[in-house]
Amino acid sequence: MKLNTRHALPRSIFICCSLMLTLLIAACSTSGSSGGTNVVPTPTPTPTPAPALTTYTGEGYTVGYPKGWTSKQDTSPTQFADLAKQFPGVQVPTTTFTDSLGVNTVTIGVVPDPNGLVPPETALNTVIQASKSSVKNYKEATIATQATVGGQSWNQAAATGDVTQQGATANAKTVALVTNYPAKSPTTKLYFIVYAGPSLTFDSIDSTDFQPILKSFKFS
């Protein structure tokens, strides 16, 4: 009997230690580093895919526009007639990109400006003055005075105003950007971008459409 007792005692101690080790491992695997708090893994956010853009090649630049948008060229747009006066004898051709609803637009224009004789701030002010005369309840909107597009610094301004089309009146927001590229060279051209849409949906369209278009702009 004494022989059996001596063998049974070490075996029971071994079983108890094994159970304690198992419980300890289980506790460590289910507790955090701060007093047993369960660790919840942080989900990895899914990146928002960039919208697919159709590439358009203009005079000295390329730009992308979203699916469903259309492009239209105009060799002498009346809305930029005042700007054309800054360049006597030279046309101010533009390309306008319009969404499927026909209410959100991005217009890009290019005109020769050798050696940058017409400063961007002068051209931008001309565009602003033209906007004032074409809308009611004109108000300047808060926006940075400089923006970077295509790796180049542009002068920038924004405004809101009531626009009437086909008997319906709605408040619209417009942002205008102007730059000379290269800054001062015999081949310098003045570039301007004007994008606009209804004020109620402007911020949403700015995020999903306007900004991707601007980010795709490249000088060629």
pLDDT tens readout for residues 166-209: 788 999 999 999 999 999 999 999 999 999 999 999 999 999 99
Mean pLDDT of 43-53: 67
Which of 97, 110, 103 is CA-nearest to residue 212? 97
Per-residue model confidence as pLDDT tens digits over 157-171: 999 999 988 788 999
Classify domain 53-219 at the CATH class level: alpha beta
Amino acid letter at 138?
Y
According to the model, what pLDDT value does residue 5 have?
Answer: 45
3-state secondary structure of 93: coil
Q: What confidence tens digit (pLDDT) does each residue in 59-111 have?
A: 999 999 999 999 999 988 888 888 989 888 888 899 999 999 999 999 999 99
Q: What are the tens digits of pLDDT across the range 108-130? A: 999 999 999 999 999 999 988 88
Query: Model pTM?
Result: 0.77
Query: Domain limits of the chain?
Result: 53-219
